[in-house]
Amino acid sequence: MSDRPLTNRDIADIFDTVADMLQLKGEIIHRILAYRRAAESVRELPRDIRTVAAEGKLESIDNIGATLAEKIDEMLTTGQLSFLEKLRQDIPDGLVDVLRINGVGPKKAMLFFKELGIKSVPELETAARDGKLATLPSMGAKSEKKIIESIEALARRSNRVRLDLATVTAESILQELLALPQSLFGSVGGSVRRGKSTIGDLDLVIASREAAPIMDTFVKLPGVITIHGHGPTKSSVELSNGLQCDLRVIPPENYGVALVYFTGSQAHNIKLRALAQEQGWTLNEWAFTATDGSGKQLLYEREEDVYKQLGLSYIPPELREDRGEIEIAREGKLPHLIEIGDIHSDLHMHTTWSDGKLSVMEMAQVAKARGFKHIVITDHSQSLGVANGLTPERLRAQREEINQANAALGPDFRVLQGTEMEIRADGNLDYPDEVLAELDVVVASLHVGLRQERAQVTQRLLNAIRNPHVDIIGHPRGRLIPDREPADLDMDAVFAAAKETDTVLEINANPHRLDLDDVHAQRAVELGIKLAIDCDAHSAGDFDLLRYGVATARRGWVRADNVINTWSTEQFLRWLES
């Protein structure tokens, strides 16, 4: 173990490893899920867990009770978890990786370990290629071949892919399948539908009374490289981009229940099943079934009716993470989440003046055609040389072009001048105050020095927030998915300063960023901090990314009145003046 203090991510990873090992040992699902959900809560915690522990408030974290709080304290104190070390006496670490192989569950993994001493994926591959797996109970040459194919697929596949890549893939497959005459209607499910920033695999659900032609078409699609299953209600394939895609085709009267089930999350579904049990029903992916032995079933074509049966208002997919949505839906008090149609402006974009592809006029015309009422041109500031950042002199020259665009576009559309100003590595801002005062809007962002120590990088951001000319903090944590982890910011301090100064925090809709993430967006809303959802557009097509920013906001329980892009031009200008 490293001498450095454990981070939220370290503790979450340890809890996930414990869950994997408990799964291998055959523990009950609720114990496994307790560690999974604890890992997720810690990983998404917007505060440093060391601070929370020092305050004695670990049990205030979602899914952390007294027992898990003690384990977190142990890890923060000793750098390790004795319970995990005890598990490692029986379960080798490498066996956890074996669970990532498609078609290998806990029972098979333990069979391979006990019978052949297999403790890792390389050892499993060697045994499979040597024909040793086929000799084991419930195995055979066909099963062995599938495991080899799954190992090869895993080697091609990164752990997770960005939301946009998964969404485009899933929607294109769904569109092709829905064009078949046998398809009635359908949807993308899983974590794509819930709008998570990264995706592990794809789920599609289609209603039909003739599944076979749909399944046959699915497994023969051009992007399919491996067929993992081809059945009457479910087929599973490996795509050339490394994603696994599962298709369920079910009768329309079962569609609502199936879509709820295959949208997830697992934790959300477990809560729904518990509610059904309380009412005398079991709930699976097909139907409600009476527990009195009568065989009575309830079938629903619409998701809304599934939730109504459970005494809940409809829960949007983005909220289905068991973060309190079920309890609030029971009271009928879920917020009306922001929608794409609520957005009337974009406040962060780049033109040919810095690193964009279109002129000021061209960007304005694209935005106006999409129904926006105003935009802010925010080309990069001078120190970001790689992006052709603007000197003060070039900024003033750009103002003339913006004035010309406003004159040409008429009174119903407004182009404002701003900047995406670099917060420099030394903590200074890239323009002096007298230059900032000339601009309509100032977006300040971190692009360099993101690996600085927590106190240093946080102070840089606070310097920008407290500058009276800074209106918005762009992509506050500076992450790039999947290549760069976010800066180690003290988000408590960032939130406090933003609230005090009425500085807006941005949800950057670019799927490489989606920053603020959903958890931090939710915290900002709780504190009354204003948000912006911006595309950070560098071309016309980048405006299409708005959907991902809105999905992230919806996952963060964000309403339209939390977001300044929903304001009219007059309201936005009044806010700037104030």
The answer to whether position 138 is within a domain reads yes
Q: How far apart are CA 107 and CA 23, in angstroms?
A: 9
Q: Among the three residues 250, 272, 299, which one is the final residue of a domain in this structure?
A: 250
Do residues 113 and 187 both lie within one domain?
Answer: no
Give residue 157's pLDDT: 58
pTM of this structure: 0.83
The CATH number covering residue 115 comes to 1.10.150.20
Question: Is the C-alpha dihedral spanning 207, 211, 216, 217 positive or negative?
Answer: negative
Do residues 211 and 286 both lie within one domain?
Answer: no
For the stretch 467-507, pLDDT in tens is: 999 999 999 999 998 778 889 899 999 999 999 999 999 99
For the stretch 358-413, pLDDT in tens is: 999 999 999 999 999 999 999 999 998 878 999 999 999 999 999 999 999 999 99
3 confidence band (pLDDT: 50, 70, 90)? low
Q: How far apart are CA 278 and CA 23, in angstroms?
A: 27
The CATH number covering residue 83 comes to 1.10.150.110
Beta-carbon contacts of 432 under 8 Å, excluding residues fewer than 6 positions away, are: none
Please report where in the chains the tokens 């007059």 appear, as a residue.
570
The answer on pLDDT for 1 being more than 50 is no
The answer to whether position 374 is within a domain reads yes
Q: HEC profile for 117-174? A: CCCCHHHHHHHHHCCCHHHCCCCCHHHHHHHHHHHHHHHHCCCCEEHHHHHHHHHHHH
Do residues 124 and 198 both lie within one domain?
Answer: no
Do residues 414 and 503 both lie within one domain?
Answer: yes
Q: HEC profile for 375-439? A: EEECCEECCCHHHCCECHHHHHHHHHHHHHHHHHHCCCCEEEEEEEEEECCCCCECCCHHHHCCC
The CATH number covering residue 181 comes to 3.30.460.10
For the stretch 217-243, pLDDT in tens is: 999 998 888 899 999 999 999 887 778
**How do beta strands 224-230 and 234-239 pair?**
antiparallel
Do residues 390 and 536 both lie within one domain?
Answer: yes
Do residues 516 and 556 both lie within one domain?
Answer: yes
The CATH number covering residue 504 comes to 3.20.20.140
Do residues 233 and 281 both lie within one domain?
Answer: no
Q: Among the three residues 231, 250, 269, which one is the final residue of a domain in this structure?
A: 250
The answer to whether position 2 is within a domain reads no
156 confidence band (pLDDT: 50, 70, 90)? low
For the record, the structure tokens of 160 come out as 């997770």
Give residue 408's pLDDT: 97
Contact between 423 and 463 under an 8 Å Cβ cutoff? The reply is yes
505 three-state secondary structure: strand
The answer to whether position 525 is within a domain reads yes
Contact between 417 and 431 under an 8 Å Cβ cutoff? The reply is no
Contact between 499 and 524 under an 8 Å Cβ cutoff? The reply is no
The answer to whether position 364 is within a domain reads yes
Do residues 349 and 423 both lie within one domain?
Answer: yes
Contact between 439 and 417 under an 8 Å Cβ cutoff? The reply is yes
Among 350, 334, 343, residue whose Cα is nearest residue 374: 343
Do residues 430 and 524 both lie within one domain?
Answer: yes
Do residues 566 and 421 both lie within one domain?
Answer: yes
Mean pLDDT of the region 156-176: 87
From its phi and psi, is residue 79 left (phi > 0), alpha (psi between -120 and 50) or beta?
left
- The angle formed by the CA atoms of residues 494, 532 and 433, to the nearest 5 degrees, is 65
When divided into structural domains, the chain yields a total of 5
The answer to whether position 33 is within a domain reads yes
What length does the chain have? 578
Q: Among the three residues 232, 250, 268, which one is the final residue of a domain in this structure?
A: 250
Domain range for residue 406? 340-577
Mean pLDDT of the region 409-431: 96
- Which helix (H) or strand (E) segment is 202 a member of? strand 202-207
Do residues 452 and 563 both lie within one domain?
Answer: yes
Cα 312 versus chain centre, distance = 25
For the record, the structure tokens of 411 come out as 């009174």
For the stretch 257-288, pLDDT in tens is: 999 999 999 999 999 999 999 999 999 999 99
Do residues 176 and 126 both lie within one domain?
Answer: no
Question: Is the C-alpha dihedral spanning 515, 520, 521, 525 positive or negative?
Answer: negative
The answer to whether position 3 is within a domain reads no
Question: Is the C-alpha dihedral spanning 240, 241, 246, 249 positive or negative?
Answer: negative
**Burial environment of residue 333 by CB neighbours within 10 A (0 to 12, 13 to 18, 19 or more):** exposed
Q: How far apart are CA 101 and CA 224, in angstroms?
A: 18
Question: Is the C-alpha dihedral spanning 554, 555, 558, 564 positive or negative?
Answer: negative
Please report where in the chains the tokens 């936005």 appear, as a residue.
572
The answer to whether position 1 is within a domain reads no
Contact between 563 and 531 under an 8 Å Cβ cutoff? The reply is yes
